[in-house]
Structures are given as C-alpha cells and as structure tokens.
A and B are shown apart, each in its own frame.
Chain A
Amino acid sequence: MTKGPMQIDRQALNCVMPMHLWVSGRGVIESAGSTLRKVFGAVQLEGASFFDLFEVRRPGGVLTLADMRRHDGERLQIIPKEVGDVQGLRGIAVCLPANEGVLVNLSFGIDVIKAVATHHLTDADFAATDLAMELLYLVEAKTAVTDELRQMNLRLQGARDAAEEQALTDTLTGLRNRRALDVAMSMMIDRKVPFGLMHIDLDYFKAVNDTLGHAAGDFVLQVVAKVLLSQTRAGDTVARVGGDEFVVVFKDLTDPDKLFNIAKRVVEKLTEPSDFQGQVCRISASIGITISTDYAQPSADKMLSDADEALYASKNAGRGQAKLFGNVAPPDLPEKRV
C-alpha cells in the first residue's frame, strides 16, 4: 500500500465537506465549501485572508497560519467575524503537504438549529454523513412531545381545580368544609330533619399563631378537630368554615340543655393547654347555638347568622362560654333577642 498524497478534486471535496476551507501557505482562502459560502452571503471568502474573516478562539494564541499548523489535527473553536448570528463553529485543521497551507473543516455544532433557520439551509447543504438532519428531527420531535405534555399538564391542572372545587373536606383538619356544611344543612332542611347548630370560634388563637408560629397554629386546629369529633356523634356534621371557626350540626338534637352541656364540655376540653414541641398552647372557645325547631321556616343562612350573633354575645360576655340565640333576649324586646 502506497503512502503517497491523495488527490481529490474540488467538487468531490465539497461533496464530502461542504463547510471546508482550503487556506494557502500565505493564509489566503483558496476555496470554500458551498454551505460556508451560503452562510457568508455577500462576503467573499475565496481570496480573502483567513484571519481577517475568522478568529480562532480556542486554543489560544493561534494568530497565524504557522500557529494553526502547529495545532494540526486538534479541535478548534472558530468565530466567524462577519456572521453575527453564528456564535462559534467547531473545526479541525490539518496540514497540507509541503507548504500548501491547511485544510479546515467546520461544523455548526449546537448552533445548527439557528443556522438552518437564518440561512435557509436545506438537506442538500449538509454532507450525507452529517447528523444535522437527525438533530433537527429530534428537536422537532422533542418540541412536539413537550407541547403535548404541556397540554396534558393544563388538562390535569383543570381536573385538579375542578376536583378541589368539588372537595368536601378541609385538608388541614380532615373535617368537613364550608361546602359540605351547606350541603348537609340544606339536605336536613329539605327533609325537615330537626337539628341543633353550634358556631364555635376559638379565643386567643391569633396569639398562638403570632407568638408560636403557623406550625403551632396548625397543630392547635388539629387538636380542636379531635376534640370536636370526640364530643359529637357519627351522624353529626363537624366543619371548619374559616381560619379558626367551626360549625357543628347535631342531627335530631334540639334540646337546649343537652346542647349547652355539649358546648360546656367542648369549651372545657379546648381550654386544656396543649403541648406543641415543648411549647404550651392555650386557647379557649366561644360558642353560639341555634336550634332549627325555633324557626317556622328554618334557613341555613339565617340560622348561621343567628348562631354568629349568639357567638358574639358569648365573646362580649367574656369568652369561654356558650349562648343560645334568643335565650338572652330582654322580655320587652322580643324582635331583638340577643
């Protein structure tokens, strides 16, 4: 096998390397690949000095053709000075025999996507062996898949929002929420099931939250939930309706004395200090009570607002107690009963 130089004509060279540069011993570009010429547009490559049009960024210190010949066969990073939108080309330069200069082959590297768009490159501008088409294909496939996933995320988000909207549970305490309370009350009113209603507002909860932090506050709310569940029956509805407000609906329980007893026990239990990570949390509760049989035509809104009024009467009377709506009315003012 002979080891002599190989001859290749320019057209064949261009076919294999459409982004090559043949730089003569004097540093002048003798020929340039068709894709490079397309990218440079109006800027004439052939006949120009290589270092006028290109800067070798890496390795450093390559300022002359002799420097380039010293880096024979190494990977180069080359910046075209006249093509603004191409950040950097990847290249390799090999010495040509005698003193004929160097043959440089370039590629776009990751900039290929931008280059294709800016310079309207087509399949024919890439060597048959170039993986540019596969890269472009992958970018498009990835984009299509990502779009599909984004839409799926939106659909799932929508489904989650809808599910949350329909949820009946308060996530922090596991109690029923305001919506569940409305459903339970309107069902009982529709079916004419009598019930007692207790509106419970925590006293000093804000102080716990402010001094011991939200984690302590959350802990206290969970303790309250346990207490309320322990003092009610399975068929009762225990709901958290606001930050520190709770409503309990006692199905078939309309005896004021019994309701008062329950309220008293709830207040007693809630007044017991609880321990959160070594910190003592002290709260209490004020309670307002209404009973559906006190109304000719009970309505959920009216009963809740009356219970609220009774609750505020409890607060004003010194907290830590319960009042029944209507029970404290002065006898001469029957229409304003609290």
Chain B
Amino acid sequence: MHGLINRAIQCYVRDMHGETAWAQISRQSGIGLDGFEAMQTYDRAMTESLLAASVRVLMRPRETILEDLGTFLVSNHSSDALRRLLRFGGVTFKDFLHTLEDTPGRGKLALPDLDLPVMDLYEINPSIYMLQCRFPLEGAGHVIVGLLRAMADDYGALALLDHDGYSLDGEMVLIQLLEVSYAQGRSFDLAARAD
C-alpha cells in the first residue's frame, strides 16, 4: 500500500482524534510513533493492522472510520491540495462525477507507483448514479462515500450518498443528486494561491 494512503489515515487519526489516540494506535499496530512516510510503499498487512488498531482505540466501526477519513481528506483545511486536485475534475459536481473514472490515471500522472481505486460510473438517470469501486482495501467504498459527500458540499450540490453493499468485484456507492446548485460552493480558482 502506498505510504500516502497510510499517512492519510495517520493524519486523520492525529488531527481528528488527537496525539494520544495516535500514540496508542501506532503502538498497537507496531508502526512506531513517527508513523508512515508518504513516499514509501508498505506492506498491505500494515494498513490492515493500522485500521484494526484504529477500530479498537477509537471504538468505532471500520466503516465509520473509513467514511470519516474520506470526508477528512477533502474538508481538512490544513491540506487543501487533494481538494484542489479533485476540483480539476470538472466545473460542476456532475462533471466531477464523470471524471471519477480517470482517478487512477490522474493518480499515476502525479505518482507513477500510486494505486487508487478503480471506479466505474453508471448513470441510472440524470439524478441517480451507481459507482462501482474496486480497491484491495476492504471498505474503500466507505472512503469514497465520505469523500463524495464532502465534494458535493464543496461544489454546493445537494446529494445523498450511500454505501450500497458489495457487487461481484467491488463495492457499490449510490449517488442521488437532489439539487446541483443547492448552496454556494467553496470557490475554486484555477491558479493556486502563492503562499
């Protein structure tokens, strides 16, 4: 598993649940207090034991943690990079949904050894979509649910997002678009602020 993914979990635990929780989780999963390096690759078992320790320490189900993680990735203001990279996907939330299938390719453009979920979008009707998500980590669909919910907010769209169980080769996410411009979304300027 790419270090970026492990590090994302680490940042989520540390920022949302505090240093003490992270200290406990890192000890239980055997990673060490310093945690993961973003630009290294780790064994998948490491990610599994990290998640298992998070479930025990945070006393929350794995699905809740993963969904929270997805929301955190977009809405965490200390690192705006991922939100911005996702916003390049399209001008509207609908555009954005249609570019989700490019996600693994876009990931590889940035980091050739980064594997991201493979997603296929099925349009049931203009306001209902099914997203099939394939990724070696069980529950990745929940991360997508949290992430899409935060992205809908970011675009100012009103959408219902649900994990719809498992298909033969992936997890299904149901997307119901209720209103494409429900609220004023967060602004997105193509040029990154120089800071």
Contact = CB atoms under 8 A, between A and B. Distances in A.
A50 B185 CA distance: 41
Contact of B191 (A117, A124, A147, A149): A117
A51 to B, nearest CB: 31
Interface residues of B, number: 20
Contact of A152 (B39, B106, B191): B39
Nearest to A126: B190
Contacts of A155: 34, 37
A134 B110 CA distance: 11
Contacts of B81: 140, 143-144, 147
Main secondary structure of the interface of B (DSSP, over half): loop
A124 B37 CA distance: 38
A133 B88 contact: yes
B124 interface: no
Interface string A137-157: 110111111011100100100
Contact of B109 (A116, A133, A137): A137
Contacts of B91: 122-124
A159 to B, nearest CB: 8
B169 interface: no
A137 B109 CA distance: 9
B43 interface: no
A120 B188 CA distance: 11
Nearest to A147: B81
Given A148-B38, A148-B39, A137 B88 contact: yes
B85 interface: yes
A141 B4 CA distance: 13
Interface of A: 113, 116-117, 120-124, 133-134, 136-138, 140-145, 147-149, 152, 155
Interface of B: 4, 34, 37-39, 81-82, 84-85, 88, 90-91, 106, 109-111, 189-192
Given A123-B90, A137-B88, 16 more contacts: A116-B190, A116-B191, A122-B91, A123-B190, A133-B190, A137-B106, A138-B110, A140-B88, A141-B106, A142-B110, A144-B82, A144-B85, A147-B81, A149-B39, A152-B37, A152-B39
Closest 3 pairs (CB-CB, A-B):
A141-B110, A117-B191, A144-B81
